[in-house]
Amino acid sequence: MSNNDGVSHPSRRPCGPPQGEVGDGLKPSSQGKRIAFDGPGRTVIDGPFAATRELVAGFWLWEVKDMDEAVAWVKRCPNPMPGPSEIEIRPLNEMADLR
C-alpha cells in the first residue's frame, strides 16, 4: 500500500523570492491545524495557536481543495524530527479575501 492511497496529488505552486515577511499571506492560526507526530501516530490539533518564536525550518505550498485534503497529505508525511514534532498547516489568503 502506498502512502498516497485515496488522495490525488496536490498542485505545487512555484515559490519566488519573498515579498515582505515570510507568512504575510497566511490566514490566522485560528483557521489552521497542527499535525502532531509521535512514532507512527498522528494527532490533529485545531487552531488558534499562541504566537511563537520557534524556527520555521521550511515550508510547502500545496493547492488542495480544502483543509481536509491538506490534513490527509500531512498525515502521510514522514516525521520531520527524530522525536515527537508538529507540522502546522494554514490556508493562504486569496485575492477575494483581500477585497
- Asked, for residue 11, whether it belongs to a domain, the answer is no
- Asked, for residue 82, whether it belongs to a domain, the answer is yes
Question: So what's the pLDDT on residue 51?
Answer: 76
Does residue 36 register a pLDDT over 90? yes
Q: Which domain holds residue 77?
A: 26-98
- Asked, for residue 16, whether it belongs to a domain, the answer is no
Question: So what's the pLDDT on residue 14?
Answer: 44
What value does the mean pLDDT of the chain take?
A: 77
User: Residue 59 — very low, low, confident or very high, per pLDDT cuts 50/70/90?
Assistant: confident
Q: In the chain, what percentage of residues exceed pLDDT 70?
A: 72
- Asked, for residue 20, whether it belongs to a domain, the answer is no
Question: So what's the pLDDT on residue 44?
Answer: 96
Does residue 67 register a pLDDT over 60? yes
Which residue in 3, 29, 25, 1 sits closest to 95, CA to CA? 25
In sequence order, the 6+-apart residues with CB closer than 8 A to the CB of 88 are 29, 32, 33, 34, 49
Question: So what's the pLDDT on residue 29?
Answer: 83
- Asked, for residue 10, whether it belongs to a domain, the answer is no
- Asked, for residue 49, whether it belongs to a domain, the answer is yes
Q: How many domains does the chain have?
A: 1
- Asked, for residue 63, whether it belongs to a domain, the answer is yes
